[in-house]
Amino acid sequence: MNLTLKNKRLSKGLSIIGIAALCALSILFAQTLFPTNAYARSATFSIPVEQIFEVAPEGLVREGAFSYEMRRLNSAYPFVPGITGDVYNFTLTGNDTHSLGELTFTHAGLFRYEIRAVGTAEGNYIFDDTVYTAIVVVTNTPDGRGLVATLRVYIEHPDGSGGKLNVAEIVFAKGYEGEVLEEDPPPGVLPEGPPPPGAGVTRPSQGPKTGDYADPLAMLFAMGISAVIALFVVFLIYTDRKNDEDYGELELATMAKAS
């Protein structure tokens, strides 16, 4: 009877193990047929906006500030986190770049936004009223498991036809017109103006003085030339004296023969 009981317990244990193994195989088979993504099916994207000053003094560039707005053209489109409504306002100062986002897209499609400067330019700054239409194009990845986002930017065609012109980026070009006040020059820098009396007049050289700088190579070259000239003069004197001596000996010999 004990043997029968042991066999029943063993059979029950094997049944439990078999059921567990069958469940594990079923789970593996289901994952093979229906793979689970290990990542979220979404794409994040930011739209860069740049402000540049084409013509303006450096000090005025740093002070030039303009206000802008980003507007989504459909309330269902993803928008800047933390912003309620369809308009996001921001400010750019000087030469600066601002990223609008991060925008999170959960499905493929075309998502349109408008970006423009608002308000008016203060002082003599030049206002750029270009309106950019930014279209975020969201598509599926080749394997169909994810999303990828790209940007297309359009402006109104300059010919006034009402058509759209594709541009590479969103850039608002600023400038400054008007008189720029001159600032005091920093210490040690002379202001521009008429030269002081005597400036630019070349005076004759008075020759080197004690302690004046002279080029050593030039001095050595001059000394070498002088030495060559001196040797040449000595050679001429020696040659002249030699000729005189030879001429005197020849004259005495001639007189001896004649006597």
- 159 domain-assigned: yes
- 33 domain-assigned: no
- 214 domain-assigned: no
- 78 domain-assigned: yes
Output the six-digit token pair for 49.
């906006």
**Rounded to two decimals, what is the model's pTM?**
0.55
- Domain with 75 in it: 43-176
Q: Position 162: which residue type? A: G
CA–CA separation, 136 vs 148, rounded Å?
A: 10
- 70 domain-assigned: yes
Which tens digits make up the pLDDT trace of 89-124?
Answer: 999 988 899 999 899 999 999 999 999 999 877 767
Reference 66, options 96, 87, 86, 46; nearest CA is 96
Supply the mean pLDDT for the chain. 75
At 78 the pLDDT is 97
CA–CA separation, 248 vs 243, rounded Å?
A: 9
CA–CA separation, 115 vs 162, rounded Å?
A: 18
Beta strands in the chain (DSSP E): 43-55, 65-72, 87-93, 96-105, 109-118, 125-126, 132-140, 147-156, 164-167, 170-176
- 118 domain-assigned: yes
- 130 domain-assigned: yes
- Residue 48 belongs to a domain with what CATH number? 2.60.40.3050
CA–CA separation, 190 vs 184, rounded Å?
A: 10
- The tally of domains found in the chain comes to 1
Residues of the chain with pLDDT under 70: 1-40, 55-62, 123, 178-218, 221-222, 243-259
- 198 domain-assigned: no
